[in-house]
C-alpha cells in the first residue's frame, strides 16, 4: 500500500486530473484527493479539510493558478503549491514562483511531478521542524529569563575570562543592598572578601578536580555587613568567554543553628544518657528517680518531685520525691487538685511556672507556704504533657532566690518532655501487659470457638455441594422427561392429551422448585411485601388439609385436622403463614410410610402465655434424630432420612419455614421422637 497523501487538485479537466492522480500512484503514493475548479469550491475545500499538497492548473475557464495562489496565501498554509499547465511560458512561470508557487511543470512532462512532490514535502517538513525548534528556543529563553528573575534565591552571571559581572537578579540585589546597575559595575573582590578562594573553587569545578559544585563563602553587603551564603555554579562557553552562572542561598540562619547545635552538644549527651537510664527503669517511680540524678547535676536544688494528676478523683499524687532534708511532701501522698487550680490551668497551656522569689510569686497557690517551711525560696514547675494531655508536673525547689536561668530551664524542660513520654509509656506498658494476659485467655477461647465454627462451615460446604447436585438433578429430570414426551407427541399425535398432561405436570414441578429458591431469596433480600392481618388460623389450616388430603390418600396416608376448642385468631401475613403450613404438610406426607397418620392441630398455649397461639403438625414417620433437629433448619441441609431415601429435595423447605416464623417473631420447635420412639411433632407459635 502506498504512502497516504491528501491532495487538493485545482483543475477543470477531468482527464488532466486523472493523469495527475495516476502519476502520483505510480510514484508510490495513495492520494486521497478532491478536484475543484472555482475559487468558492477551493475556499470551501480549504476550510473543511486538512491537505498535504495543492496541485493547480495555471489556466482554467473561470479560474487561474494566480488566483488560487492568492487564496492559498490568505489561508496562511505551509504546504507545497505546485503549478501544472500546458500553456505556461517562462515569464509567467517566474511570476508564479515569485507569487509563492513552490514549483511548476508542464502537463506533457508529468514525469517531474513525483520528484517535485517528494522534494517539496521534504522541504515543508524541514520548515515545520525549523519553526518548532525556533519556538522552543524562544520559549526556553523566556523561561530561563523568568526563572532567573523570579527564582527564590540570588543568581549572578560572572565572566570568568574577563572577571566582571554580566547579569544579576533582584533577589541577589536584595541580599547585598546594591541596585542592579551598581552590582554590574562591582569588581568581584568588592563582593567576595575571599575572592581568590572563590576563583580557585570555580577553576576546580571547570577542571573537574573537585567532585562538589557547591561551596560556602561570606558575602559583603553595600553597608559593610556580611552574611554566609552557599554557592552553586554551572558553566557555559560563549565565544572566547567562560560564563559562570552561580545560585546563591543565604545560609545565615543555618550557620546560627549550627552554632546553637554546638552549644547544646553536651545537653544532647545528657539527654541521651538519661534516656538510657530510663530504659533500664522498671516503673514510673524508678523513671522519675533516674531523672532526679541528672537534674541534680544541672541545677543546685534541695527538693524535687514528680506529681501525677487524677482528674476522676480530682487529686494529685506525689509519684516520686527527693529531698536533702525531711519534707512534709512525702512520696505517695495524695492532695486535692483545688490546692493548685491556677497552676494546673497554666501548665495545661504548656507553660512552665517559674517562681524566683517565693515571697513574691507571680501566681500564688496554697502550697507556697508549706514549701517555704521546707526551706524552698524559689521553684519551678514544668508540665508533663503527652499528646496534648497534661498528665502531671516536674517540680524543682532551691534554697536560694534567682537560681533558674534560661539555659538550665531549657535543659530541664527537655528532661520534663522526655520524662512525660517515659512515664506514660511505662503506664501503658503495664496496661498492655495486663491486657495481653487477658487477651491470651480470650484468644484461646475464641480459637476453640473458631475451630468449631470451621468444622461447621466445612459441613455446610459439603451440604451446599449436595444441594447443588440435588438442584441440578431436580432440574434435569423434568426437563429430560419433557423432551421425551415432546418426541413421543411428535410421533404419535393420537395420544397428544396424555403427553401434554405429563409435560404440564413436569413444568409444574420445575415451577415449584424455582419458586422455593425465589421465596428464600425474597425473604433474604427484603423483596417480599410484608402484609400482616388478623384472621382465623383454623380456617387456613383446614383449607390446606383439604388441598393435601388427596395427595396423602394417594400415598396411603391418613391426613386429619383437629381445631382448637376456642377460635384461634392470629395477626400474621396470611400468604406466608399458608406457605409455612404447606411446607410442613408436604414434608410430613413425603416422609410418612404407607398406612401412616398425619394430624394438624391449632391450639392456644396453656403452659406459657407468652407463646400466644399456634398449630402443630404430627406424624408417625421415622422421626428426626436429636442431633439433627437444629441443623434441619439450615439451608441446604438434608437430614439422614432424606439422604438415605430416594425422596427428592433441596434442603430449603424448613429453612424457608424458619425465615417465615422469624419474620413473625415466633418460634418453631421440633419434638422427635414423638411417640413410641417414632414420629415427629413440629410446633409453631405466633405471639
Pairwise CA distance, residues 57 & 68, whole Å: 9
Residue that terminates a domain, selected from 259, 286, 316: 259
Q: Does residue 473 surpass a pLDDT of 60? A: no
Q: What is the pLDDT of residue 291?
A: 78
Pairwise CA distance, residues 35 & 14, whole Å: 8
- Residue range 465-481: mean pLDDT, rounded: 61
| 144 — pLDDT class (breaks 50, 70, 90) | low
Antiparallel, parallel or unpaired: β 680-686 and 667-671: antiparallel
Pairwise CA distance, residues 548 & 589, whole Å: 9
- Indicate whether 225 and 282 sit together in one domain: no
- Report how far apart, in Å, the C-alpha atoms of 184 and of each of 149, 159, 163, 236 are: 15, 11, 11, 19
What is the edge-to-edge ordering of all strands in the sheet holding 29-36?
29-36, 3-10, 53-57, 81-85, 103-106
Q: What is the DSSP string of 237-254?
A: EETTEEEEEEEEEE-HHH
Q: What is the pLDDT of residue 181?
A: 92
Asked if 478 and 506 touch (Cβ cutoff 8 Å), the reply is yes
Q: What is the pLDDT of residue 677?
A: 64
Produce one character per residue of 416-436: b if its CB has 16 or more CB atoms within 10 Å, e if not. Answer: bbbbbbbbbebeeeeeeeeee
Report DSSP state, residue 611.
G
Q: Does residue 336 surpass a pLDDT of 80? A: yes
Q: What is the pLDDT of residue 55?
A: 92
- Residue range 555-559: mean pLDDT, rounded: 88
- Residue range 618-626: mean pLDDT, rounded: 83
- Indicate whether 585 and 657 sit together in one domain: yes
Bridge-partner residues for 242, per DSSP? 237
Q: What is the pLDDT of residue 201?
A: 83
Q: What is the pLDDT of residue 591?
A: 81
Most confident of 163-177, 256-270, 391-405, 421-435: 163-177
Q: Does residue 392 surpass a pLDDT of 80? A: yes
Please check whether residue 513 lies inside any domain of the structure.
no
Bridge-partner residues for 154, per DSSP? 248
- Check which CATH number belongs to the domain holding 380 and give it: 3.30.450.40
User: What's the farthest any 2 CA atoms get from each other in the chain?
Assistant: 130
- Residue range 80-97: mean pLDDT, rounded: 79
Q: What is the pLDDT of residue 22?
A: 92
Closest CA to 168 of 180, 160, 176: 180
Strands annotated E in 187-338: 214-220, 226-238, 241-250, 303-310, 315-323, 334-336
| 178 — pLDDT class (breaks 50, 70, 90) | very high
- Check which CATH number belongs to the domain holding 23 and give it: 3.40.50.2300
Give residue-wise pLDDT tens across range 418-467: 888 877 777 777 777 788 888 888 888 888 888 888 877 776 666 566 55
Pairwise CA distance, residues 500 & 526, whole Å: 37
Q: What is the pLDDT of residue 627?
A: 75
Give residue-wise pLDDT tens across range 627-682: 777 877 777 666 666 665 656 566 677 888 888 888 888 888 888 776 666 788 88
Asked if 191 and 220 touch (Cβ cutoff 8 Å), the reply is yes
Give residue-wise pLDDT tens across range 8-51: 999 988 888 898 889 889 889 999 999 999 999 999 999 999 99
Helix (H, G, I), strand (E, B) or coil at 148: helix
Residue that terminates a domain, selected from 419, 453, 483: 419
Pairwise CA distance, residues 578 & 584, whole Å: 10
Q: What is the DSSP string of 246-299?
A: EEEEE-HHHHHHHHHHHHTHHHHHHHHHHHHHHHH--SHHHHHHHHHHHHHHHS
Q: What is the DSSP string of 544-560?
A: HHHHHHHHHHHTT-EEE
Pairwise CA distance, residues 54 & 45, whole Å: 11
| 126 — pLDDT class (breaks 50, 70, 90) | confident
- Indicate whether 641 and 562 sit together in one domain: yes
Q: How many CB atoms lie within 10 A of CB 20?
A: 24
Q: What is the pLDDT of residue 472?
A: 63
Domain that holds residue 555: 529-686
Report DSSP state, residue 333.
-
| 610 — pLDDT class (breaks 50, 70, 90) | low
- Check which CATH number belongs to the domain holding 185 and give it: 3.30.450.20
- Indicate whether 201 and 236 sit together in one domain: yes
Q: What is the pLDDT of residue 51?
A: 92
Looking at per-residue pLDDT, the higher value among 515 and 99 belongs to: 99
Asked if 145 and 168 touch (Cβ cutoff 8 Å), the reply is no
Asked if 124 and 78 touch (Cβ cutoff 8 Å), the reply is yes
Please check whether residue 29 lies inside any domain of the structure.
yes
Asked if 386 and 421 touch (Cβ cutoff 8 Å), the reply is yes
Q: How many domains does the chain have?
A: 4
What are residue 498's phi and psi, to 5 degrees? -65, -50
Q: Does residue 57 surpass a pLDDT of 80? A: yes
Q: What is the pLDDT of residue 6?
A: 94
For CA atoms 65, 71, 74, 76, give the dihedral sign.
negative
Query: What percentage of the chain carries pLDDT values higher than 90?
Result: 10
Lowest mean pLDDT among 68-72, 163-167, 297-301, 311-315: 297-301
- Indicate whether 269 and 414 sit together in one domain: yes
- Indicate whether 585 and 609 sit together in one domain: yes
- Indicate whether 680 and 545 sit together in one domain: yes
- Indicate whether 665 and 540 sit together in one domain: yes
- Indicate whether 159 and 36 sit together in one domain: no
Give residue-wise pLDDT tens across range 341-368: 888 888 888 888 888 888 888 888 787 8
- Residue range 297-307: mean pLDDT, rounded: 82
Q: What is the pLDDT of residue 44?
A: 92
Asked if 288 and 304 touch (Cβ cutoff 8 Å), the reply is no
Looking at per-residue pLDDT, the higher value among 253 and 505 belongs to: 253
What are residue 29's phi and psi, to 5 degrees? -105, 155
- Indicate whether 181 and 288 sit together in one domain: no
Please check whether residue 479 lies inside any domain of the structure.
no
Please check whether residue 37 lies inside any domain of the structure.
yes
Pairwise CA distance, residues 592 & 590, whole Å: 6
Q: Does residue 303 surpass a pLDDT of 90? A: no
Residue that terminates a domain, selected from 205, 226, 259: 259
Closest CA to 327 of 373, 292, 296, 364: 373
Please check whether residue 566 lies inside any domain of the structure.
yes
- Check which CATH number belongs to the domain holding 545 and give it: 3.30.565.10
- Indicate whether 562 and 655 sit together in one domain: yes
Please check whether residue 436 lies inside any domain of the structure.
no
Rounded to a whole number of angstroms, the distance between the first and last alpha carbons of the chain is 85
Please check whether residue 430 lies inside any domain of the structure.
no
Query: How does the average pLDDT of the chain come out, rounded?
Result: 81
Please check whether residue 426 lies inside any domain of the structure.
no
- Residue range 137-154: mean pLDDT, rounded: 75
| 301 — pLDDT class (breaks 50, 70, 90) | confident
Looking at per-residue pLDDT, the higher value among 661 and 134 belongs to: 661
Q: How many CB atoms lie within 10 A of CB 296?
A: 13
Closest CA to 665 of 571, 582, 541: 571
Give residue-wise pLDDT tens across range 214-238: 888 899 999 999 999 999 888 888 8
pTM: 0.32
| Torsion (CA) 386, 389, 391, 392 in degrees, nearest 10 | 90
- Indicate whether 398 and 269 sit together in one domain: yes
Q: Does residue 474 surpass a pLDDT of 60? A: no
Asked if 48 and 24 touch (Cβ cutoff 8 Å), the reply is no
Amino acid at each position: 500500500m502506498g504512502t497516504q497523501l491528501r491532495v487538493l487538485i485545482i483543475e477543470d479537466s477531468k482527464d488532466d486530473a486523472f493523469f495527475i492522480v495516476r502519476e502520483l500512484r505510480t510514484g508510490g503514493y495513495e492520494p486521497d484527493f478532491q478536484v475543484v475548479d472555482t475559487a468558492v469550491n477551493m475556499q470551501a475545500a480549504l476550510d473543511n479539510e486538512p491537505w498535504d499538497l495543492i496541485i493547480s492548473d495555471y489556466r482554467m475557464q473561470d479560474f487561474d493558478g494566480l488566483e488560487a495562489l492568492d487564496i492559498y496565501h490568505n489561508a496562511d498554509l505551509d504546504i507545497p503549491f505546485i503549478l501544472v499547465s500546458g500553456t505556461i511560458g517562462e515569464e509567467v512561470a517566474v511570476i508564479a514562483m515569485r507569487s509563492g508557487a513552490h514549483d511548476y511543470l508542464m502537463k506533457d512532462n508529468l514525469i517531474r511531478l513525483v520528484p517535485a512532490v517528494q522534494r517539496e514535502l521534504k522541504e515543508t517538513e524541514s520548515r515545520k521542524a525549523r519553526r518548532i525548534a525556533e519556538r522552543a528556543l524562544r520559549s526556553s529563553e523566556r523561561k530561563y529569563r523568568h526563572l532567573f528573575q523570579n527564582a527564590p534565591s540570588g543568581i549572578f552571571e560572572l565572566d570568568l575570562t574577563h572577571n566582571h559581572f554580566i547579569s544579576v537578579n533582584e533577589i541577589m540585589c536584595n541580599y547585598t543592598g546594591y541596585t542592579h546597575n551598581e552590582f554590574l559595575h562591582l569588581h568581584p573582590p568588592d563582593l567576595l572578601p575571599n575572592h581568590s578562594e572563590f576563583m580557585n573553587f570555580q577553576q576546580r569545578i571547570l577542571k573537574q578536580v573537585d567532585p562538589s559544585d557547591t561551596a560556602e563563602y561570606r558575602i559583603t553587603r553595600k553597608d559593610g555587613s556580611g552574611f554566609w551564603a552557599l554557592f552553586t555554579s554551572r558553566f557555559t562557553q560563549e565565544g572566547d568567554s567562560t560564563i559562570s552562572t552561580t545560585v546563591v542561598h543565604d545560609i545565615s540562619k543555618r550557620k546560627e543553628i549550627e552554632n546553637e547545635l554546638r552549644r547544646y552538644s553536651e545537653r544532647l549527651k545528657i539527654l541521651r544518657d538519661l534516656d538510657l537510664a530510663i530504659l533500664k527503669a522498671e516503673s514510673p517511680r524508678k523513671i522519675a528517680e533516674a531523672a532526679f540524678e541528672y537534674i541534680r547535676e544541672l541545677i543546685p536544688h534541695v527538693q524535687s518531685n514528680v506529681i501525677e494528676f487524677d482528674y476522676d478523683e480530682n487529686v494529685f499524687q506525689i509519684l516520686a520525691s527527693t529531698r536533702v532534708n525531711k519534707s512534709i511532701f512525702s512520696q505517695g501522698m495524695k492532695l486535692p487538685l483545688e490546692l493548685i487550680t491556677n497552676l494546673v490551668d497554666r501548665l495545661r497551656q504548656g507553660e512552665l511556672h517559674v517562681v524566683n522569689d517565693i515571697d513574691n510569686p507571680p501566681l500564688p497557690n496554697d502550697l507556697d507556704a508549706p514549701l517555704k517551711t521546707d526551706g524552698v525560696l524559689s521553684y519551678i514547675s514544668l508540665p508533663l504533657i503527652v499528646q496534648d494531655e497534661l498528665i502531671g508536673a516536674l517540680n524543682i525547689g532551691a534554697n536560694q532566690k534567682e537560681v533558674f536561668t534560661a539555659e538550665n530551664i531549657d535543659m530541664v524542660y527537655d528532661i520534663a518532655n522526655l520524662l512525660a513520654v517515659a512515664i506514660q509509656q511505662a503506664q501503658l506498658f503495664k496496661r498492655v501487659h495486663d491486657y495481653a494476659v487477658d487477651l491470651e485467655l480470650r484468644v484461646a477461647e475464641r480459637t476453640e470457638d473458631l475451630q468449631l465454627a470451621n468444622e461447621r462451615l466445612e459441613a455446610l460446604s459439603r451440604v451446599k455441594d449436595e444441594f447443588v447436585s440435588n438442584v441440578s438433578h431436580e432440574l434435569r429430570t423434568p426437563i429430560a422427561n419433557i423432551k421425551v414426551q415432546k418426541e413421543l407427541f411428535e410421533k404419535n399425535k393420537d395420544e397428544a392429551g396424555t403427553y401434554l398432561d405429563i409435560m404440564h405436570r413436569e413444568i409444574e414441578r420445575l415451577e415449584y422448585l424455582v419458586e422455593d429458591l425465589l421465596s428464600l431469596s425474597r425473604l433474604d433480600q427484603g423483596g417480599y411485601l410484608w402484609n400482616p392481618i388478623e384472621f382465623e388460623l383454623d380456617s387456613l389450616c383446614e383449607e390446606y388439609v383439604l388441598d393435601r388430603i388427596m395427595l396423602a390418600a394417594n400415598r396411603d396416608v391418613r391426613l386429619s385436622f383437629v381445631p382448637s376448642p376456642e377460635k384461634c385468631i392470629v395477626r400474621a401475613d396470611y400468604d406466608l403463614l399458608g406457605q409455612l403450613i404447606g411446607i410442613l404438610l408436604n414434608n410430613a406426607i413425603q416422609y410418612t410410610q404407607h398406612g401412616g397418620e398425619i394430624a394438624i392441630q391449632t391450639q392456644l398455649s396453656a403452659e406459657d402465655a407468652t407463646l400466644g397461639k399456634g398449630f402443630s403438625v404430627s406424624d408417625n414417620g421415622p422421626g428426626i434424630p436429636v442431633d439433627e433437629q437444629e441443623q434441619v433448619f439450615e439451608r441446604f441441609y438434608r437430614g439422614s432420612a432424606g439422604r438415605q431415601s430416594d425422596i427428592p429435595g433441596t434442603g430449603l423447605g424448613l429453612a424457608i419455614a424458619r425465615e417465615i416464623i422469624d419474620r413473625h417473631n415466633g418460634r418453631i420447635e421440633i419434638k422427635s421422637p414423638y411417640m413410641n420412639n417414632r414420629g415427629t411433632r413440629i410446633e409453631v407459635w405466633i405471639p
